[in-house]
Chains A and B, each alone.
Chain A
Amino acid sequence: MTLLHLAGVTRTVQLIDAPPLTILSGVDLDVAVGDRVSIVGRSGSGKSTLLNLLGLLDNPTTGDLEFDGRPVKSFSSAERDRVRGRDVGFIFQQFNLLQGRTALENVMTPLLYAQGKQFWQRARIATEMLDRVGLGHRLGAMPDKLSGGEQQRVAIARSLVRGPRLILADEPTGALDLETGADVMALLDEVATGSGAALITITHDPAIAALATRHLRLDHGVLTVVGAPDDSALLGGDVPDDLRDDDLAAVPA
């Protein structure tokens, strides 16, 4: 079942004293329920911009974007927010937990925008979710008392708590050491598989990209399909400096 359909999507921004900047051009993409998609690309290639479009946070400048078979252009602003709340879960590189709120309160936050059972039983649902990411014993902990890996696990619980059909992770392991990153990704993969959601991950780490079943690459706003992210595929062409220097060097051969 197709969840996302993009055809000829471009995104340009109007700059003040310069010609318009094209961030994405001619992007075609279909994502179905249960897909595992990884997107790599050097810094500034438009990965986050693309993810914002997929998560209904932004609109394409031209081209068609359909969510669940409906053109996104037809959504009202509030409708778009509600669809996003119900069907999309975000995971950020910087975790973006709400400071001063406990782990439990953070995981409950998306449920505050739900209705009915999800809203009224939010404490129970959020507790169960934290249990599943192995933090059932840290419900009352504040984010600044948690390690990076624990914070990202809270963030994962938060993104999954409403049972989204699409999980968007923007460099989810970027702020974690390799081992913790691998653990967190394994967890994310496991819970995503359990819920049958599509998972789109932006990453610099080939090991993490390797977890996906479909591998995409962004170059200056152009999206291309690549093979499995073995070293040669990533190293061929213009390999980003940061990839070669840091991430790849750390990957065992």
Chain B
Amino acid sequence: MNRLLSNVVGSFVEAWQELRIHKTRVMLSLIGVAVAVCAITTVVGLGAVAQQALQEQNEQQGGRAATLSLYVAKYDGTPVDAEVMEELWTTTLDRYGIDYASRVVNSSQTVQFADGAVPVRVTAVDQPYGTMHRVRLTEGDWFGATDADRLAPAVLVNQVFYDRLGQPDLATHPTTTLLGDRPTTAVITGVYPVSTWDTEPAMYLLADTLAGLSSPEQQAANGVVPNYEMWVPAGLSEELTKAIQRDFTAAIGSGTNVSVSRQDYAAFNEDPFGSIKLLVAGVAGLVLLLGALGLVNIALVTLKQRIREIGVRRSFGATAGRVFFSVMMESIVATLVAGVVGVIGAVLIVTNPMLQGFISQGAVTDFPPFPVEAAILGLVCATVVGALAGLLPALVAVRVKVIDAIRY
């Protein structure tokens, strides 16, 4: 143990001295390694950030894995009896023990703003929807269990809507007027962010609130058909898809289109950055290789001088294994230093606010910290390249014949 430690530390000292002597040449060949490591780490790091952005967006749209979507419509266009649907929906959730489920109605609702009545996109949902879609709010809270019983219904508005109201303090319980058959005053209890390209006001209501504003028949007449979403374990999604499809078809009868399908992003699993990643990784790999060749070159060029040096070291007690390890260490220490520089560069690039804004388009509410895997990957790449580049010189070094090396 003691011997191992002093061997490792000793090799490190020897490697460092050797690098110091050839520092200019070493540094030049390391630029390539540092750049390559930086590129690889940046790509992986950005990939992770972009992935997070994409996932957040996808989850907000399609729900978390696995979200099943149920859609029921009659072929002749007449609405399915609302009470029958309601009944079936509740028993299905009970039967399969699905806790997270929500009706989703996409509709439009006229809202009275100071400068006039404006149609606003509305998504009417049940309370679990917030968890299922990981909806993030910049202010206030998602619908609570008691919101359904409020006298004045709760409404969550997007940033555009909120800005148009002049950003009132939510603690003052600001209200907005929903026009329609039965004009209603709603209390704004939360605000959610929008992408930079989104300029239209929009809001979330509870499905029951929307039903109170206009009857399902009216909605059906307007062409609004509710969608039903269920968040289920991914492993069960296929079975449940079939079972629910069968149950509904059997219960509602012929002439009806019952469709159950998975709609979350994970169902269409593909890496949108795959090809870019591959390209950058390829180029970076090439640069890394060139840097490594530079290191091998230096090691071989200085070998003549070093044969004598190795002979001297051996005569003072360095074992063959120690010589191998020391020479190997030179190259590893060098590339590791370059790797650290590269990773630091990558962190600076990836965590740059301008770049993050560009990638996320404002859609990501909280950025993940720089992914540790990316940094580790960069350092591992550097070390592996160093080890590969050190192998040849190290093999040459152990084959040095001591008595020939110190003969003059």
Name the interface residues of A35-64: CB closer than 8 Å to any CB of B.
48, 52, 55, 57-58
A-B CB contacts (within 8 Å), total count: 81
Say whether B196 faces chain A, with CB atoms less than 8 Å apart: no
Contact check, B3 vs A55: say whether CB atoms are below 8 A apart: no
Contact check, A93 vs B408: say whether CB atoms are below 8 A apart: yes
Contact check, B17 vs A94: say whether CB atoms are below 8 A apart: no
Q: How far is the CB of B216 from chain A (nearest CB, A)?
A: 83
Say whether B309 faces chain A, with CB atoms less than 8 Å apart: yes
Q: Out of B13, B402, B408, which one reaches A112, CB within 8 Å? A: B13
Q: Which residue of B lies closest to A105 (CB)?
A: B17
Q: How far is the CB of B277 from chain A (nearest CB, A)?
A: 43
Q: How far is the CB of A28 from chain B (nearest CB, A)?
A: 22
Contact check, A86 vs B319: say whether CB atoms are below 8 A apart: no
| Binary CB contact string for chain B from 1 to 42 against chain A (1 if under 8 A, 0 otherwise) | 011001001100110010011000000000000000000000
Name the interface residues of A60-104: CB closer than 8 Å to any CB of B.
77-78, 81-82, 84-86, 89-90, 92-94, 96, 98-101
Name the interface residues of A97-124: CB closer than 8 Å to any CB of B.
98-101, 105, 109-110, 112-116, 119-120
Q: How far is the CA of A84 from the CA of B403 in the complex (A)?
A: 14
Q: Out of A81, A100, A114, A120, which one reaches B314, CB within 8 Å? A: A81
Name the interface residues of A117-162: CB closer than 8 Å to any CB of B.
119-120, 158, 162
A96-B308, A119-B6 are known contacts. Are A78 and B316 too (CB-CB below 8 A)?
no
Q: Count residues of chain B with CB under 8 A from any CB of chain A.
A: 30
Q: How far is the CA of A52 from the CA of B406 in the complex (A)?
A: 10
Contact check, B315 vs A84: say whether CB atoms are below 8 A apart: yes
Q: Which residues of A contact B408 (CB under 8 A)?
A: 92-94
Contact check, B403 vs A58: say whether CB atoms are below 8 A apart: yes
Q: How far is the CA of A14 from the CA of B145 in the complex (A)?
A: 95
Contact check, B319 vs A82: say whether CB atoms are below 8 A apart: yes
Contact check, A78 vs B319: say whether CB atoms are below 8 A apart: yes
Q: Which residue of B lies closest to A109 (CB)?
A: B316
Say whether B313 faces chain A, with CB atoms less than 8 Å apart: yes
Closest 6 interchain pairs by CB?
A85-B317, A100-B21, A113-B317, A110-B316, A112-B10, A81-B319
Residues of chain B whose beta carbon lies under 8 Å from any beta carbon of chain A: 2-3, 6, 9-10, 13-14, 17, 20-21, 305, 308-309, 311-322, 402-403, 406-408
What would 8 A/B residue contacts be, using CB atoms closer than 8 Å? Answer: A57-B403, A78-B321, A96-B311, A109-B312, A110-B317, A113-B319, A114-B6, A162-B317
Can you add 15 more A-B contacts, CB < 8 Å, to A57-B402, A85-B317, A100-B17? A58-B403, A77-B319, A82-B319, A84-B316, A92-B406, A92-B408, A96-B312, A96-B406, A98-B309, A100-B20, A110-B317, A113-B319, A115-B2, A116-B6, A158-B316
